[in-house]
Amino acid sequence: MTSVTRDPLDTAKRFLQTVVVVDDNAYKRQEPGGTLQASLGDETLDSAAEPSAHESEPEVDLDELDPQAFDTETIVEGFADLGMNCAVIAPSPLDGERDVKRLRELAGRSDVVILDWVIRPRGAKVVEEQPEDRTSLSLLIDVLRRDAETGGSRLRLICVYTGERDLAEILDKIESTLKEQLASSSIERADPRLTVGPARIVLLGKEPLVSIPGLATVSAAQLPAEIVREFTEFVASGLLPEIALESLSAVRDQSHRLLRRFSGRLDPALLSHRSVTSPADAEQFVLALVGSELAAIVAAANATSPLRDERVAAFVSAAFDGRQDAYYWKNAVAPNPVTITKDNAVKALTLGIDASGQIREGNQKLDSKISRSSLLLTGDDPSEIRNQAIEIDMGFSALSSLARDRAFDGGRVPTPELQLGTLLKVNDVEPESKETPADRDDAEPDEQTYRYWLCLQPLCDCVRLTKMTAFPLLPLRPPSQSNSKFEFIVSEAGTYIPLQAATTKLSEIRLTKFQPDPQREVVLARRTDDTWEFEDLDGHSYEWLGSLRMDKAHKLLHSVATTAGRIGIDEYEFLRHASS
């Protein structure tokens, strides 16, 4: 069977569906001194008025062209040829507030936003003393600020497409204003781009009106393809982003399948189920059904094709461009790296290693338990490479551990419920700067105080609650100096924290009582400042950190059940030690 491979550009093109453009000259033609009928290279400003073969092409005086001209028809058709819908807005001379509101709504549902730089309502006068009033800067800031207010994790591409000659000055203005008004956001500049947290702003000049070395200029006909390239570089430059985009594209394409499967004809059965369970239980049940359908859609669409051998080999080879070797470390405490050749590294990451650690088709052995993330990282300082590799391993561990992550999702998630897998933190046990007894290997059980806890209440006992209910909380702890093992990762304030079960003994599990919500019949968190918290019967608060994936939560619950199910017998000590 022939494997299917996709180009990242195709993946981005399949995902991108909606573009919104704001330009005050959106519906004006470019006609200086009458009708412009000039061919510029392979492109024309007016394709409907190309000169005949018997006519000489008139020279074009760029100074005559309106620097704010916008070829709406060419751009809309260009996006349509790529399978995208393009909405074009020309600001109204009468209702600026409506324009801002409209842009907000469209930006919230669009994949890409394109803004002209000099932008004002048609018929409005230019006020030179207030140049910001005639630029798109306030609109741009408004979109980014709105994203920040709703969680700040939205990936967004904003293109400023302008006929102004001094692009560098415009980029300086945008950067300085962003630093002033969005001071909490990280801002990185690489002309002609600014990356603002999860958003990217790219400045493009309208060709042929602008031609400045080092800064990008594109014609109206080239703009749609350039937007796809920018989006690909920003979002889809990697295997995991491609898989995510393929998955989302598949869900979009197959949305009708989901609607057919979840037909309104089945509503009586759903409400019948709800009537004998609870609203919360019914919601969890339906969410599980929807999740299963989405997983089936993604699997059928072959979204994991970027992990095919040929793509992985090309990806790894590209990572070694310009270097001939890489580093890895044999274990967590080894200070010095081991060098591995490019050929062996490529084979290790594409063909894998066998049970003995031998690289398939290579001439080097690797411990199967070590991380090989560092093989793809470049740099002159091995210690820096190792730190980056550890950070990457921690991040992927968090991704594979948590179904919901407070540090990533912020306050935008639905109100958390206390159930199996809920991760909690107690903030009033000890200051972070002090060592708690639970962090010491010699701590006695009666002096241990734990900061992190995991709810072990089975799902069926977390719903249909009508009275105060006790929940078993398993104590968690970071790895100690003598034991570096951990079971999952949580993220707090940009720092990854590895955790493991402090014990699996029933004697150390805390039974804590919580009051359920009378309408929902589950224990709900309450919003305080920028956190979600659960409050127990005694008034103690537990900060919600996220929720473990259900299989990991069940694994820990099984460990506790296994420990509790041990059979204790009274036997001769010599024999007991000999058999243990």
Confidence (pLDDT) at 485? 82
311 strand-pairing partners: none
Confidence (pLDDT) at 41? 30
Confidence (pLDDT) at 209? 55
- Find the range with the poorest average confidence among 55-69, 143-157, 181-195: 55-69
Confidence (pLDDT) at 482? 66
More confident position, 448 or 221: 221
Looking at residue 361, its amino acid is: E
Confidence (pLDDT) at 541? 92
From residue 180, how far is each of 116, 141, 144, 456 by CA, in Å?
Answer: 22, 11, 13, 46
More confident position, 146 or 269: 269
Task: Say if residues 544 and 533 touch (Cβ distance below 8 Å).
Answer: yes
577 phi-psi bin (left φ>0, alpha ψ -120 to 50, beta other): alpha
- Residues 415-419, mean pLDDT to the nearest whole number: 92
Looking at residue 51, its amino acid is: P
Confidence (pLDDT) at 289? 92
What is the widest separation between alpha-carbon atoms in the chain?
Answer: 111
Burial class (CB in 10 A: 0-12, 13-18, 19+), 171: buried
Q: Is the pLDDT assigned to residue 264 strictly greater than 50?
A: yes
pLDDT tens string 301-319: 888 888 888 888 888 888 8
User: How far is it, in rounded angstroms, from Cα 239 to Cα 434?
Assistant: 41
From residue 135, how far is each of 25, 90, 138, 171 by CA, in Å?
Answer: 13, 14, 7, 13
More confident position, 324 or 399: 399
Q: How confident is the model at residue 3 (pLDDT cuts 50, 70, 90)?
A: very low
Full set of structural domains in the chain with CATH: 8-39+60-237 (3.40.50.10140), 240-306 (no CATH), 312-378 (no CATH), 402-564 (no CATH)
Q: How confident is the model at residue 130 (pLDDT cuts 50, 70, 90)?
A: very low
Confidence (pLDDT) at 435? 43
238 strand-pairing partners: none
pLDDT tens string 58-94: 444 444 445 556 788 889 999 999 888 898 888 766 6
Q: Is the pLDDT assigned to residue 4 strictly greater than 50?
A: no
- Find the range with the poorest average confidence among 6-20, 36-50, 145-159, 533-547: 36-50
Confidence (pLDDT) at 454? 95
Q: How confident is the model at residue 544 (pLDDT cuts 50, 70, 90)?
A: very high
User: How far is it, in rounded angstroms, from Cα 17 to Cα 253?
Assistant: 11
Phi, psi of 452 (to 5 degrees): -110, 140
Q: Is the pLDDT assigned to residue 56 strictly greater than 70?
A: no
- Residues 486-513, mean pLDDT to the nearest whole number: 89
Confidence (pLDDT) at 45? 30
Buried b (16+ CB within 10 A) or exposed e, 300-332: ebebebbeeeebbeebbeebbeeeeebbbbeee
User: How far is it, in rounded angstroms, from Cα 341 to Cα 323?
Assistant: 9
More confident position, 48 or 72: 72
Looking at residue 302, its amino acid is: N
Confidence (pLDDT) at 339? 86
Confidence (pLDDT) at 330? 77
pLDDT tens string 315-367: 888 888 777 788 888 766 667 888 888 888 888 888 888 888 888 888 888 87
Q: What is the rounded average pLDDT for all residues in the chain?
A: 79
Task: Say if residues 469 and 514 touch (Cβ distance below 8 Å).
Answer: yes
Q: What percent of the chain has pLDDT over 70?
A: 80
Query: Rg of the Cα trace of the chain?
Result: 30
Confidence (pLDDT) at 49? 37
Those residues with Cβ within 8 angstroms of residue 256's Cβ, 6 or more apart along the chain or in another chain: none
Q: Where are the alpha helices (DSSP H) in 450-579?
A: 550-564, 573-579
Closest CA to 399 of 549, 569, 243, 296: 549
Angle at alpha carbon of residue 88, lines to 101 and 189, rounded to 5°: 80
| 58-62, 138-142, 325-329, 475-479: which is most confident | 475-479
Q: Is the pLDDT assigned to residue 440 strictly greater than 60?
A: no
- Find the range with the poorest average confidence among 61-75, 179-193, 200-214, 328-342: 61-75
- Residues 210-220, mean pLDDT to the nearest whole number: 67
Task: Say if residues 89 and 27 touch (Cβ distance below 8 Å).
Answer: no
Burial class (CB in 10 A: 0-12, 13-18, 19+), 527: exposed
Give the long-range contacts of residues 189-198, CB within 8 A, separation 24 or more: 191/215, 192/167, 192/216, 196/144, 197/148, 197/152, 198/147, 198/152, 198/153, 198/154, 198/155, 198/156
Confidence (pLDDT) at 153? 61
pTM, 2 dp: 0.74
